[in-house]
Amino acid sequence: MKVKNIETSTIKRIAEAIRCGDLSVTEIAEWSIANRQDRGGVLEAYKTWNPDQFISEARAVDSVFAAGIDLGAFQGIPVSVKDLYGVSGYPTFAGCPRELAKKWQIEGPVVRALRHQLAIVSGKTHTVQFAFGALGTNVHWGTPRNPWDSKDHRVPGGSSAGAGVSLWEGSALLALGSDTAGSVRMPASFTGTVGLKTSKGRWSTSGIVPLSHTLDTAGPLTRNVTDSISAFGVIDPLVSKSPNDFFGRVENANLSDFNIGVCDWYFNDCDPGVAEGVMLALNELEQKGARISSVDFVEIEESNTLFTKGGLSAPEFASFINNEMLEFKEDLDPNVAGRFNAMESVEANEYIARCKHRLQLSSKMRENMLGFDAIVGPTIAISPPTLAEVSESKQYHRRNMAASRNTSTVNMLDLCAITIPVALDSINMPVGLHVISQHGDDEKLLAIALTFEKVLGSARERIGVPPLCK
């Protein structure tokens, strides 16, 4: 394998090339750094970017390989990490204008799982301040640029704002994000990458600055579903103990093995080309043998209604700021601070009622999804807006809620989900197909997504390369 093939190869194939001696870890790091330099930093994926440290880690891993030590598939693979995660040797800002206390640099289980295999960190990617936003904007540090528009600066999706951008930039092969209402899937959908929202409790959120202790989940963004499966096999504490069984189950699934429900509610109020792109992909899947039927669930709409009132994340976030991060309250991004009075005014009885209502909806949803392996629809109903379009507060909040409408239902109903790129909309921005499964069915979800990708093609095959990354 030649170095030039890194951009089109899966992580699995790159790992094989390293072990065959066709590629060194240092070459991968040099390729990553060159990609960022060649694009002049215009995409601005990173809050903290230290190429010297990046190269130093790569050379150290090459030395480990030279000593005959192989700790796993991610040894030497560059990973970008959302700046909510603690990473030893890197500051954590969580989108704030000032660095957080040193305790937020402590690595949690997700980062440690990759570090134990000697994955190398490319840098810390930008996030919306304290992860409270769907569009990816940050008044303190700037907003990464969506690479699909070479003319206007469009938002990349939030709150894992730099994650998907780092993948297209070519500075990382895996990106770590977090998802409370769609913060992995929204940037993945907006940038044409794959984003996995894991089942709540499946992966530890220790070592990640919290937004909502009830809804927060950790998850990866990748260039294709195969890479997402590779990451899951290493990070997930259940399957990492017997990865071969996991890979066999996921990779040997067939399209006709699954009963798929197309959820009409997710197609409401879509921008031009969004619903059409998803339906075209579903028609292709059906022609290749997918078992697809139309469904609707009242619980989805009710969960969205609860979310628009602030759900659980808003009052839990307010409690976190007022009790642990009070010194940062005065520095809150205006788009966050503007909603803070409403967040902290939620009384205890109202919060308890919301918790109870959410659990009731979740229970009903589990019952009603029986017989379906997954339900599908557009990941996000709108096209990524330009920065200018969300510069005014009212327009920001309108589009912020529109972007998170579909994805937030998954968190509110305790489901797991993945988005895969399937089309370009009427303004040539990526469209994601949202695949949603029951809580705990993460392996099945990945199997379904892989069967879809085998028919539809990976992002590069399906929708091409962003104009700013050619």
Catalytic residues: 82, 159, 183
Distance CA 78, CA 85 (A): 16
Q: Which two tokens stand for residue 237?
A: 């504490």
Q: Which two tokens stand for residue 369?
A: 């999804």
Considering Cα of 322, then 328, then 329, then 335, what sign does the dihedral take? negative
Distance CA 442, CA 198 (A): 7
Considering Cα of 292, then 294, then 298, then 304, what sign does the dihedral take? positive
Cα 360 → chain centroid: 27
Distance CA 316, CA 182 (A): 17
Contact of 392 with 338, CB cutoff 8 Å: no
Element (H, E) at 80: strand 78-82
Provide the Cα torsion 86, 90, 92, 94; round to 10°: -90
146 residue type, one letter: N
Nearest to 451 by CA among 237, 255, 209: 255
Give start and end residues of each alpha helix (H) in 105-224.
Answer: 109-115, 163-169, 185-191
* Distance in Å from the first CA to the final CA of the chain: 21
